[in-house]
Structure 1
Amino acid sequence: MARVRQEALIPGDSGDDGDGTPPAGSLLGPADVRALATRLGVRPTKTLGQNFVVDANTVRRIVRAAGLEPGDVVVEVGPGLGSLTLALLDVVDRVVAVEIDPVLAEELPVTLAARARPGAEFEVVLSDALKVTELPGPAPTALVANLPYNVAVPVLLTMLERFPTLRRTLVMVQAEVADRLVAPPGSRTYGVPSVKAAWYAEARRAGAVPPPVFWPVPRVDSGLVALTRREPPVTTASREEVFAVVDAAFAQRRKTLRAALAGWAGSPVAAEEVLRRAGVDPTARGETLGVADFARIAGARTA
């Protein structure tokens, strides 16, 4: 993990000084994004899941949906060229941006220093978000991000696990991923992401985002998911043990829990014994259970 640069912006004149310098507090528009990318020789890549937001109204809407307060310390994953980062700095006093692309990480502080609201603080961390174990400065209280499409769920779950001070989260992901994260038990889209997200927080859809607000324009719709931290279910099992049950149950989601958990428990008979101790019907399927049910199953095995 590398800390690229930290800036404490000093209050001053926010107007254009006549030499073409953008005014403080100004957001990036489509022309700004493309000009920055051209100057840096940056082409969004599928490998990094990059789709840059080019619509200022969209980033303002994301920030409003996040329900932030000035005192929040926001961590942003995948800031790219800084569209959302600037909108965040209009509202909160500090943002820590985690960026994996070294070219973007080097340029972002320059953009923020030129455009961000006077008095706001920011720090850019050059790192893969999946490898970040600590962040500089005060503990983060909120996560707001346009998550890279290809690693959205692992990044979200990793951040929630490693930073328990995150009380509020607002992420933009593919619409189908958003549906999975907020799906209730018994629904068609309910699965591993739904249960694991529910371990940490209550999740809800917070809006839809159409393809034209991105560059390049993706072939899929995007959705906003808001998560509010809550205590995990009471259980004698660890989070890792509960998640092992979840993984086993959905690895063969068409099978009954007695069969699906046979490998996890040691045999179908052992699985049935654990399920009955947990008060769960062995003939049920994983897609009908909530996170508290999985916690009871894991706890019944360790009891």
Structure 2
Amino acid sequence: MPASGRTAARACSTDPLSTEPEQADGLLGPAAIRELAQQLDLRPTKTLGQNFLHDANTIRRIVRTADLRPDDVVLEVGPGLGSLTLGLLPAVAHVTAVEIDPRLAELLPATVAARRSDLAGRLTVVRDDALRIRELPGPPPTALVANLPYNVAVPVLLHLLELLPTLDRALVLVQAEVAERLAAAPGAPAYGVPSVKAAWYGEVRRAGNVGRRVFWPEPNVDSGLVALVRRPPPPGDRLATFAAVDAAFGMRRKGLRAALARWAGSPAAAEQRLRAAGIEPTARGEQLSVTDFARLAATEEVQP
């Protein structure tokens, strides 16, 4: 390693495509992130949720927390300028990165080739909208690890878990409030539609907090890590269960007899189905687990 002073400064080049990376392990730091953005004349947009990680210690922490195996195939959504991608590649067999911005999708392979040429063959970049994906090239992904755009984090997560049954783990970085909702248990103030629907796919937990200063541009909210380990869903139909969930939380201040009246056909029909499922009609949606909702959805519709 260089000793110090000017020698060290020369060795730690800020050229984002230099073979002498800013970080010893090739990770992108703040200077490299800004130079890459300048190279593309990139002005991050809220529409695409573009807040780029630039802190190497945060990247290393995310990779450690993801509990990855050497044979894993990781799906990364929104790789941006490649900060997390460069952290993931040494830890797994392959990374499939889905990027909606064509400029970023085109630059990512070049960034990886310049900084970690030994790992460039492990990367596949897919230029697409993660919400519109119906299939992916290459080996089936086994883990989702991503800094998800805040504005579409929950729909993207649920879509990918449904689309890709080979995903047995996920670790996503989302807005702190969303992280709280995804991991909330029945009865908690944050428990709601995202909590129940995520629980359909697996066990969900908070996996840490992430401050604002590790992003460029710096967001006006804090972030949180959410981990999910897949398990078999409860018995029942997913779409029918999700319809009951949406109805129950659409009027969350009301008891389920009233909240589910339209879903069931009438308040009386709602009460009959609730009692058939072993649920008190005066209960509220935030008291029910995903298993309760699945059991409710499986009850027979009441004929008028």
Whether contact under 8 Å (1:25, 1:90) holds in the other structure is no
* Aligned equivalent of 1:140: 141
Question: Normalising by structure 1, what TM-score?
Answer: 0.91
127-136 vs 21-30, greater mean Cα deviation: 21-30
Q: Report if the CA contact (8 A) 1:90-1:117 is conserved.
A: no
Question: SS state of the match for residue 284, structure 1?
Answer: coil
The residue that corresponds to 2:245 in the other structure is 246
Task: Kindly indicate whether the alpha-carbon contact (under 8 Å) linking 1:146 and 1:171 is maintained by their aligned counterparts in 2.
Answer: yes
Per the alignment, do residues 171 and 20 of structure 1 end up closer, same or farther by CA in structure 2, a change over 3 Å counting?
Answer: closer
- Report 1:1-303 matches (<5 A): 20-22=18-20, 25-116=25-116, 118-119=118-119, 120-235=121-236, 238-301=237-300
More relative contact order, 1 or 2 (CA 8 Å, 6+ apart): 1
Count of residue pairs the alignment pairs up: 285
Per-residue deviation, 1:93? 1.8
Provide the secondary structure at the position in 2 that maps to 1:208: strand
Q: How well do the aligned residues superpose, as a CA RMSD in angstroms? A: 1.7
In structure 2, do the counterparts of structure 1 residues 20 and 81 end up closer, same or farther at CA, with 3 Å as the change threshold? closer
One-letter amino acid matched to 1:239? R
SS of the residue 2:219 aligns to: coil
Q: Is the 8 A contact 2:18 2:115 kept in 1?
A: no
User: How far apart, CA to CA, are the structure 2 residues paired with 1:20 and 1:176?
Assistant: 38
Indicate conservation of the 8 Å contact 1:96/1:125, yes or no.
yes
Name the counterpart of 2:6: none
Distance in 2, Cα, partners of 1:179 & 1:234: 26
8 Å contact 1:25–1:117 — kept in the other structure? no
How far is 1:43 from its partner?
1.1
Q: Which amino acid aligns with 2:211?
A: P
Q: Which runs of 5+ in 2 are unaligned?
A: 1-11
Measure how far apart 1:21 and its partner are: 2.5
- The CA deviation string for residues 199-257 of structure 1, in whole angstroms up to 9 with x for no partner, is 0011111111000000011111100000000111112xx20000000000000001111
Structure 1 runs of 4+ aligned residues shifted over 6 Å read none
Q: Normalised by the size of structure 2, how large is the TM-score?
A: 0.91
- Contact 2:18-2:114 within 8 A present in 1 as well: no
Unaligned stretches of 5+ residues in structure 1: 1-14
Which amino acid is 1:134 matched to? E
Counterpart amino acid of 1:40? L
For 1:6, the equivalent position in structure 2 comes to none
Which residue identity does 2:259 align to in structure 1? A
Q: Secondary structure at the match of 2:235?
A: coil
Letter in 1 for 2:70: P
Percentage of matched positions with identical amino acids: 67
SS in 1 for 2:91: coil
3-state SS of the aligned residue for 2:27? coil
Tell me how far apart the structure 2 counterparts of residues 26 and 250 of structure 1 sit (CA, whole Å).
46
